[in-house]
Structure 1
Amino acid sequence: MIDEIDAALRTIIVDEALAGAGVELSFDAPTKEWASRRSGPTICAYLYDIREDVRRRETGFVNEYRDGRTVARHRPPRYFRLSYLVAAWTQRPEDEHGLLSRLLQQMINYQSIPIERLGPTLRDLGLPVTMTVALPPSEDRSFADVWSALGGELKPSVDVVICAPLPVTRTQVVGPPVRTPVLRTGDIREPARAEVVRAPRADRRREDSA
């Protein structure tokens, strides 16, 4: 799932927002050592946090149908928030600001990633993959803390948060449907003498009426 989100972000950033700019996109951690090796304009989209969106967790089961009957049940998908720190590296701060401006201009048009940008796993689920851009961080973290943990200098950046469903692969197979109800009577201690009474079937009633 994460690799499909990375691919979708690459398409939105490189092919749409910065088309023709000759800018490289990297998902590496923007440490000082990494920054010192940059030889050209680069956008870094660093995945710095992965958390489940517990507000969207559902209970119960989802039925899978085939030929009009239930064949299996599975848990609903779980939703995870992927937080990316997006920053630009160039020779001049003005150029970095220009790249970030183009990114913002394009990415604020999206409230979710278009289905044609998604990989097969997310596309087959048919569920929205939402995206928020440059919202304030949560109370338990700040972007300055992220930069400090990376050992780098604080730079202007855009926080991109994508909430994507992750399917639960554990499935419970359902047995075949009951087509003929059976009622057993008698002493349960003597199963051999128990009488079996079958409910009349629809086709048997039709034969009798004929």
Structure 2
Amino acid sequence: MIHEVDEGLRLLLVEAGLQESGVDLVFDAPTKDWSARRNAPTISVFLHRIREDASRRRTGAAEEHDAEGVVIGRRTPPRWYELTYLVTAWTNRPQDEHRLLSEALRCLVRSDALPAHMHTGSLAELGLTVEIEAAGPGTDGPSASDVWSALGGELKAAIDLRVWAPLAGERTAAGPPVTEGLVVRSAPGTDGDGTDGDGTGPGRRLRYDGASDPGGQGFAAQRQRQLPPGRRRRGGAAR
């Protein structure tokens, strides 16, 4: 899911035209060594924090059906995560950096969600809204100075970008519905009790009339049982 969010953000910035003038879009950590090797105007979108949004956690499982409506699997609900990025611009002049940062900010605040046509992989399959927030109110996460200290660089103008994205739940396959009765086989006799058979024969299949369509209650439903000749049901005539 994380790499799919990366790709969505890349497509969002590319669509805004930030690469048309030779600007590089990267997801590298803007460390001191990295900045020294940079040789072109660059926008860095660095992911530095991932945490679950526990308020959106759900329990249970949803059924998956095939084209005929038969249950083929069950999937647990997706879990939502908040991804925090540090967006910075890098050129040889502060004025150019601010211009690039302004263009990136204009692009990121244009919408409150990542456009659906930029979803790939599991994000596209789930079809859920991926919210984004650029330069929003402060959070309880690490401060900008803490992030830059960890990167070993000097404090620099940056956009705090947060994304809320779903991680697809686990899927378990479901077997086909039961349409046949049980098969009973005899077991090998022990202690000379007279039981015969080795348990490998075809056995006896317990069937019900209309076994191919057991109905809503399946094989638990009550069915009429054929009585032997001469026997009669309680309160009825002999058959």
Per-residue deviation at 1:81?
Answer: 1.2
Corresponding residue number in structure 1 for 2:169: 168
- d(CA) in 2 for partners of 1:78 and 1:44? 27
Per-residue deviation at 1:165?
Answer: 0.8
Per-residue deviation at 1:38?
Answer: 1.0
Gaps of 5+ in 1: 185-196, 201-210
User: What is the identity percentage for the equivalent residue pairs of Structure 1 and Structure 2?
Assistant: 44
Letter paired with 2:81: F
User: Alpha-carbon deviations, 1:8-65, whole Å to 9, x = none?
Assistant: 1111113315142210011111110001111111111101011111111111111112
SS at match of 1:104: helix
Match of 2:223 among 192, 198, 201: 198
- d(CA) in 2 for partners of 1:139 and 1:107? 22
Letter paired with 2:157: P
- d(CA) in 2 for partners of 1:29 and 1:183? 62
Corresponding residue number in structure 2 for 1:72: 73
- d(CA) in 1 for partners of 2:220 and 2:39? 80
134-143 vs 43-52, greater mean Cα deviation: 134-143
For the structure 1 residues 101 and 70, does the alpha-carbon distance in structure 2 shift closer, same or farther, using more than 3 Å as the test?
A: same
Query: What's the TM-score, normalizing by structure 1?
Result: 0.81
Query: What's the TM-score, normalizing by structure 2?
Result: 0.72
15-24 vs 112-121, greater mean Cα deviation: 15-24
Asked if the contact 2:73–2:171 (Cα under 8 Å) also holds between the matched residues in 1, the reply is no
User: Alpha-carbon deviations, 1:67-87, whole Å to 9, x = none?
Assistant: 234332221011111111000
Q: Which structure 2 residues correspond to residues 5-84 of structure 1 after superposition, within 5 A?
A: 5-66=5-66, 67-84=68-85
- d(CA) in 2 for partners of 1:128 and 1:68? 27
Q: Which structure 2 residues correspond to residues 89-104 of structure 1 after superposition, within 5 A?
A: 89-104=90-105
Letter paired with 1:198: R
Per-residue deviation at 1:112?
Answer: 0.9
Q: How many residues align?
A: 188
For the structure 1 residues 199 and 155, does the alpha-carbon distance in structure 2 shift closer, same or farther, using more than 3 Å as the test?
A: farther
Asked if the contact 1:73–1:174 (Cα under 8 Å) also holds between the matched residues in 2, the reply is no
Alignment of 1:128 with 2:129, yes or no, is yes
SS at match of 2:16: helix
Corresponding residue number in structure 2 for 1:206: none
For the structure 1 residues 70 and 147, does the alpha-carbon distance in structure 2 shift closer, same or farther, using more than 3 Å as the test?
A: same
Letter paired with 2:223: R
Asked if the contact 2:19–2:25 (Cα under 8 Å) also holds between the matched residues in 1, the reply is no
For the structure 1 residues 152 and 182, does the alpha-carbon distance in structure 2 shift closer, same or farther, using more than 3 Å as the test?
A: same
Cα RMSD between the aligned structures? 2.1
For the structure 1 residues 25 and 140, does the alpha-carbon distance in structure 2 shift closer, same or farther, using more than 3 Å as the test?
A: closer
- d(CA) in 2 for partners of 1:61 and 1:161? 28
Asked if the contact 1:77–1:167 (Cα under 8 Å) also holds between the matched residues in 2, the reply is yes
